[in-house]
Amino acid sequence: MAEPGIRIYSGKCGIFNPTTIQCNTATWALGTSPHTWQVVSQGATSIAHKGMLHAGKIIAATAIEATENPEIIEKAKAELRERLNGEAYECPTPGDVKPPRKTAAYAK
């Protein structure tokens, strides 16, 4: 299970590969409803940019830490096995499906 003080989030997302890392940082004003034009407009501010850069640094540092310390990966795998409780993970994306290829027409 997660370390004390660490919250585990799960849910669906609109990305092709569901294997992700998540980091929550301040990028908009407290109390702003998500998925609104107010969030979009705040995304253009310097505070949002600083928050996104901070999240990127945390994610990069986490990746470096994990690659330099294989026991972290083994601990994560053990946690996953515990959470699966004997069930196997099946990727919902069929194996023959490939990510869309960007073309000139796609970029327009």
CA dihedral 61, 62, 68, 72 (to 10 degrees): 160
| pLDDT 10s digits, 21-42 | 677 888 899 999 989 999 999 9
Q: Confidence class of residue 17 from pLDDT cuts 50, 70 and 90? A: very low
Q: Confidence class of residue 54 from pLDDT cuts 50, 70 and 90? A: very high
- In terms of DSSP H, where are the helices of the chain? 37-42, 46-68, 70-84, 104-107
Residue ranges per structural domain of the chain: 47-81
pLDDT above 70 covers what percent of the chain? 75
Global pTM reads: 0.57
